[in-house]
A and B are shown apart, each in its own frame.
Chain A
């Protein structure tokens, strides 16, 4: 067990190195550089700035310096916001994205499991059709449209009631988080609902459920102990990639709802060609995702005793 986790972590570190390398070389292939902007600059100033950021070194040296700093957990200083460390930016804005992402995952997972189980229970009856219709909408309507529409309905709701029930945009309180998290988690919820439904249907027609029924186990107990517990397994497997999709897919929701998350920061940094911020954010996100997937796999091993992690 521990050997397996160690192996996975080492693999994960190798993957992070690959991500860092890909980011570094993609970034150095970008035309233009962060020192080119509308401010006039003399040759001397430019040379000094290049020396400060190490841009005057050959690319291999730059790469080695980058890797050395990375190993120390130092992402460098922002080009655009002078003297601000990339670590500070991540420390300040990542929690916002993380809270939003976690909330969205919670929404998606609980909603997906609940609705999926419901549709399977009421197969080919009204609740099934209703939920599956909503699922199809959730899969095919792009998130920015859902975000815009939910803002629109929030405006009319607030003006109808006469006071601000739920804020339309911004960040700060729990109230600010609810609607963006719901919008962010919607497509994943739709996906999980479908998955849960098919896995539920498969479990329902399995031998052990039939055996339990013939033994006279009460239906609620069959549902909770046999069907739900077994049907939930595939949902847990895709939760790792789902977390990945949700945390990096937060840009649009952060943009539309004016949330000061890291995704919005990344888009801004790309527009301003802020090398260090772009590289730092990408590597950070990559590492986060890699270890999230490892975590989910390990947890899966605990949930499903059939999975032997050692082998």
Chain B
């Protein structure tokens, strides 16, 4: 008690500020940005989106492979396949090798992707032979595979296979035929490891080696590199993913941008005018909302028509804009109606603000947050729509790649070469996920109620 002196009761001087703004004043956008930065998920999504855009725009510069070019040496190859090939001489016809050592079904020469040359001794009591090729060994159910050739006498005891040979293991079977040419259950089989080869002329033609390179027969050269593998036509998957990203992101970002723009104009016009015009405009928007979306997407797309050589990206964009603007229009109209009644608008009017000033300074900045969130959420659904339509064959026309049409092609070979489905599906999922999480983060960050909540 004795501590209290008269000095303790002296009033605070003017220098000691009784009221001060402790924190720097932040604008709406600075505040939103700081909150978005604090949201780790949204930030990572933002980075993913930026990387995707870079991938789309600069990808083709870094990886300038033509997405339509076919590499017929490597069809449906998953990433990381061995891509060495041995140089061999030009193909020459072959009619069996006399005096080939060994007995039974055997290889006359080393098996290569150029030709597999088989020779055998006549089976017991055979009046002819049939040759089969298979990817699996003959099981107890005696499945031989695909018949390759049939010889109805024992004069020809050799066979040369040149049909679509890929590096890997094949099983050849020679089955004895009876005198009527029917198969018996006597057979011989052999497993053959086919080695990838190429001739000098082929290698030159496909640009694997240059004229000046000193290469000899027997040398190993490398085939073209496909980091993500190739599709069922031997096209480079990475190049196609980049080209597809252009289509998917063009529609995914372009369409929402356009229909939100239209929706903002329409909605704010309706909100401003009010009265009967507003009623009419909104009734029309209700009609458009009622159209069954996917059915009309397809209808409009075919109504716009795709000429020969066109990709069909533009009709899809137009159809999306035509069908999806009302949601934004409604939202913006509601916002405008709400803002019109706000005290700060009246205050501003009282201070003599003109209508354009009110619109530019108050109305638009205050709806911008909601609109931005709408755009962000509209992007994944537009990407989905594009993928969905391309998947059922109503989207972009081949050969233009899009992630949806690539998935459609990949799903057919899902069991044998899953990478053809995996990569486009992964890209779609990642993009949609990133935009969704970014949208969540933006919504939270731009929500004025969250302001200054720490």
Contact = CB atoms under 8 A, between A and B. Distances in A.
Interface in A94-147: 136, 139-145
B318 to A, nearest CB: 12
B299 A145 contact: no
B295 A255 contact: no
B394 interface: yes
Given A15-B287, A270-B394, A27 B429 contact: no
Nearest to A155: B415
Contacts of B408: 144
A30 B300 CA distance: 9
- Mostly, the A contact residues are helix
Contacts of B295: 248, 266, 281-282, 285-286
A251 interface: yes
A30 B429 contact: no
Contacts of A286: 290-292, 295
Contacts of A267: 298, 392-394
A23 B292 CA distance: 11
Contacts of B298: 266-267, 270
Interface in B414-454: 414-415, 421, 425, 428-430, 432-433, 436-437
A148 interface: yes
A282 B292 contact: yes
A278 B430 CA distance: 35
B388 A142 contact: yes
B429 A145 contact: yes
A244 interface: yes
Interface string B279-292: 00000001100111
Nearest to B295: A282
A266 B302 CA distance: 13
B293 interface: yes
- Mostly, the B contact residues are helix
Nearest to B301: A270
Contact of B436 (A30, A140, A143, A244): A140
A290 B290 contact: yes
A290 B291 CA distance: 9
Nearest to A15: B290
Interface string B301-331: 0111100000000000000000000000000
Contact of A255 (B300, B392, B425): B392
Nearest to B300: A26
B314 to A, nearest CB: 15
Contact of A19 (B290, B294, B384, B429): B290
Contacts of B290: 15, 18-19, 286, 289-290, 293
A248 B291 CA distance: 11
B407 A23 contact: no
Nearest to A286: B292
Given A26-B296, A136-B433, A252 B291 contact: no
B303 A27 contact: yes
Given A140-B380, A249-B294, A252-B392, A29 B425 contact: no
Contact of A140 (B296, B303, B407, B429): B429
A22 interface: yes
Interface in A245-268: 245, 248-249, 251-252, 255-256, 266-267
* Contact-residue bracket for chain B: 35 or more
Contacts of B293: 244-245, 248
Contacts of B407: 142, 144-145
A222 B330 CA distance: 37
A144 B392 CA distance: 10
A152 interface: yes
A270 to B, nearest CB: 6
B411 interface: yes
A172 interface: no
Contacts of B286: 15
Contacts of B432: 139-140, 142
Contacts of A162: none
B287 A27 contact: no
A70 to B, nearest CB: 16
Interface in A1-28: 14-15, 18-19, 22-23, 26-27
A31 interface: yes
A290 B299 CA distance: 19
Interface string B399-420: 0000010011001001100000
Contacts of A19: 287, 290-292
A140 to B, nearest CB: 4
> Among the interface residues B298, B299, B387, B393, which one has the most CB atoms of the partner chain A within 10 A?
B299
A148 B299 contact: no
B177 to A, nearest CB: 35
Contacts of B287: 14-15, 18-19
Contacts of A143: 388
B56 to A, nearest CB: 19
Nearest to B287: A18
A15 B300 CA distance: 18
A112 B298 CA distance: 30
Given A244-B292, A278-B299, A148 B411 contact: yes
A29 B301 CA distance: 11
B421 A148 contact: yes
A273 B301 CA distance: 13
Nearest to B293: A248
Contacts of A285: 292, 295
A14 B287 CA distance: 9
Contacts of A15: 286-287, 290
A271 B388 CA distance: 16
B391 A144 contact: yes
B251 to A, nearest CB: 14
A38 B265 CA distance: 47
A58 to B, nearest CB: 19
Contact of B303 (A18, A30, A252): A30
Interface of B: 286-287, 290-296, 298-300, 302-305, 380, 384, 387-388, 391-394, 404, 407-408, 411, 414-415, 421, 425, 428-430, 432-433, 436-437
24 contacts: A14-B287, A23-B299, A26-B303, A29-B304, A30-B302, A30-B303, A136-B437, A139-B433, A140-B430, A142-B404, A145-B407, A145-B428, A145-B429, A148-B411, A248-B292, A248-B295, A251-B388, A256-B411, A267-B394, A270-B394, A281-B295, A282-B295, A285-B292, A293-B290
Interface of A: 14-15, 18-19, 22-23, 26-27, 29-31, 136, 139-145, 148, 152, 244-245, 248-249, 251-252, 255-256, 266-267, 270-271, 273, 278, 281-282, 285-286, 289-290, 293
User: Which 10 A-B residue pairings sit nearest by Cβ, starting from the closest?
Assistant: A140-B433, A18-B287, A140-B432, A29-B303, A145-B425, A26-B303, A31-B305, A15-B290, A285-B292, A140-B429
